[in-house]
Amino acid sequence: MIKTISELLTQLKEKELEKIQKYHDVKHGPMIGEMYEGLTKDIINSGLDKEFLTKDIFKDIDLKVVSGKITNKEGKYSS
């Protein structure tokens, strides 16, 4: 169960790394690496401090990273 933003980001990274394994033969790897590094740098530089990233803000909602689509309580896809 995910309890912090840090845990959420780690789970997202792990899930995406699983997905990109099938593209092991892509020849423009530095571009993909730069995209992920850029996103991480943007998150870190957005003013989020360590205390915020490690605060248990999700502890009571059983948050998990899974595959599929996100829907609301009415079954409609998020926008």
Domain boundaries defined on the chain? 1-79
Question: Contact 7/55 with Cβ under 8 angstroms?
Answer: no
Q: Which of 38-47, 51-60, 69-78 has the lowest mean pLDDT?
A: 38-47
Burial class (CB in 10 A: 0-12, 13-18, 19+), 2: buried
Statement: residue 61 has pLDDT above 80: yes
The predicted model gives 14-42 an average pLDDT of 70
The model's pTM is 0.47
Statement: residue 25 has pLDDT above 80: no
Sign (positive or negative) of CA dihedral 40, 44, 47, 51 = positive
Q: Which of 32-36, 49-53, 71-75 has the lowest mean pLDDT?
A: 32-36
C-alpha torsion 25→13→39→35, nearest 10? 0
